[in-house]
Amino acid sequence: MIGATQDIWVYLAETPLLWLTATLIAYGIGHAAFTRSGSNPAVNPVAIAAALLIALLVATDTDYDTYFEGAQFVHFLLGPATVALAVPLYTHLPRVRRAALPMLAALVAGVVTAVGTALAVASLLGADSESLLSLAPKSVTSPIAMGIAERIGGLPSLAAGLVIATGIVGAIVVTPLLNLMRVRDWRARGFAVGIAAHGIGTARAFQVNPIAGVFAAVAMGLNGLTTALLVPLIAHLLL
């Protein structure tokens, strides 16, 4: 019996099906928990799913490459989903155009704040320079962040991890933080979380309000460009 179970496990663990299914189930659990909590932002579906899957990988002694062979099918959809952001953006374009000036100001202030405070806090607390260079681009979407980290001497895969952590933190704090600050303009709320927390922040913004979602998507794109230009410069000056 144990032998048979082991044989099945060995077979399944080798196919992409197992980890693809596990990813969808883990997200399903995370999403159900989020819905049950009355859409409480602290109950973040991505964080729950990632924690469950990491525990499962550690428990079954499975390495990340094996996991990713299955999970890559979900990961792949990030590309077409990014392209699809053009559709809501088109629908709300007149609204976006009218806000060009506030967006530009918030973009510069937000990017400088994100990079500056991250480097200041982490270096004060003793992070090494490889970690700092991986941390600098963490507010942009992961492919851009990985490219920047590589160019300035950080670790691309660590940068990707920090990007994800940033996104989850942003998605969790944005609603209570901006409620506390009494910011009620959906455009400002979405744009701020898009600057600070890229795609995961954008996903959260779309959950809350479509206009916030569109502004978050615009912010994410603009921040990608700004950070790609600005971070190598800041890294060069500071480190």
Total residue length of the chain: 239
Gap between the terminal Cα atoms of the chain? 59
CA 115-103-93 angle, to 5 degrees, is: 130
Among 149, 208, 230, 235, binds other proteins (CB under 8 A): 208
192 in contact with other proteins (CB under 8 A): yes
Q: Is 29 in the site for other proteins (CB under 8 A)?
A: no
Q: Is 16 in the site for other proteins (CB under 8 A)?
A: no
Q: Tell me if 96 contacts other proteins by CB under 8 A.
A: no
Q: Indicate whether 158 belongs to the interface with other proteins (CB under 8 A).
A: yes
216 belongs to the binding site for other proteins (CB under 8 A)? no
Answer for which of 29, 40, 66, 161 binds other proteins (CB under 8 A) is 161
In the block, which residue shows the tokens 């099918």? 73
* Given 193, 226, 230, 235, the residue binding other proteins (CB under 8 A): 193
Is 11 or 67 the residue whose CB approaches other proteins more closely? Answer: 67
Which residue lies nearer to other proteins by CB, 3 or 63? 63
Token pair for residue 58?
A: 């550690």
C-alpha dihedral sign at 123, 129, 136, 157: negative
Residue 236 found at the interface with other proteins (CB under 8 A):
no
Q: Which is nearer to other proteins, 13 or 209 (CB)?
A: 209
Burial of 223 (0-12, 13-18, 19+ CB in 10 A): buried
> Residue 74, interface with other proteins (CB under 8 A)?
yes
Rule CB under 8 A: is residue 230 a binding residue for other proteins?
no
Q: What is the 3-state secondary structure (H, E, C) of 53-94?
A: HHHHHHHCCCCHHHHHHHHHHHHHCHHHHHHHCHHHHHHCHH
- Contacts (CB under 8 A) with other proteins, residues 97-136: 98-99, 101-103, 105-107, 109-111, 113-119, 121-128, 131, 135
Distance in Å, CB of 211 to other proteins, minimum: 6
* 149 binds other proteins per the rule CB under 8 A: no
What is the C-alpha to C-alpha distance for residues 174 and 117, in angstroms, rounded to an integer?
17
Residue (of 115, 103, 114, 140) closest to 225 by Cα position: 140
